[in-house]
Amino acid sequence: MIKRTLFFSNPVYLSTKNQQLVASFPETEKGAVTIPIEDLGYIILENSQITVTNGLLMKLVQNKTAVITCDQQHMPCSFLQPLVGHSEQTERIRYQLNASVPLKKNLWQQTVSSKIENQANHLEERGIHALKLKRWANEVKSGDIHNHEAIAAAFYFQNLFTIDGFSRNQKGVAPNNLLNYGYAILRAITARALVSSGMLPSVGIFHHNKYNPFCLADDVMEPYRIYIDALVYDMVQKYKQYDALTTALKSELLTIPALDVYIDGKRSPLMVAMSRTTSSLHECFLGTSRRILYPSYGS
Binding residues: 149, 207, 222
> What does R_g of the chain's alpha carbons equal in angstroms?
20
Identify whether the C-beta of residue 250 lies closer than 8 Å to the C-beta of residue 45: no
The DSSP string of 14-28 is EEEETTEEEEE-TTS
Give the C-alpha separation, 223 to 37, whole Å. Answer: 30
* Secondary structure of residue 83 in the 3-state scheme: coil
Kind of pairing, strands 66-70 and 76-80? antiparallel
- Cβ neighbours of residue 124 under 8 Å, at least 6 residues apart? 130, 298
Residue 169 is given by DSSP the state -
Kind of pairing, strands 40-45 and 4-8? parallel
Q: Cα–chain-centroid distance for residue 29? A: 36
Give the C-alpha separation, 181 to 195, whole Å. Answer: 22
Q: Name which of 53, 56, 50 is nearest 27 in CA terms.
A: 50
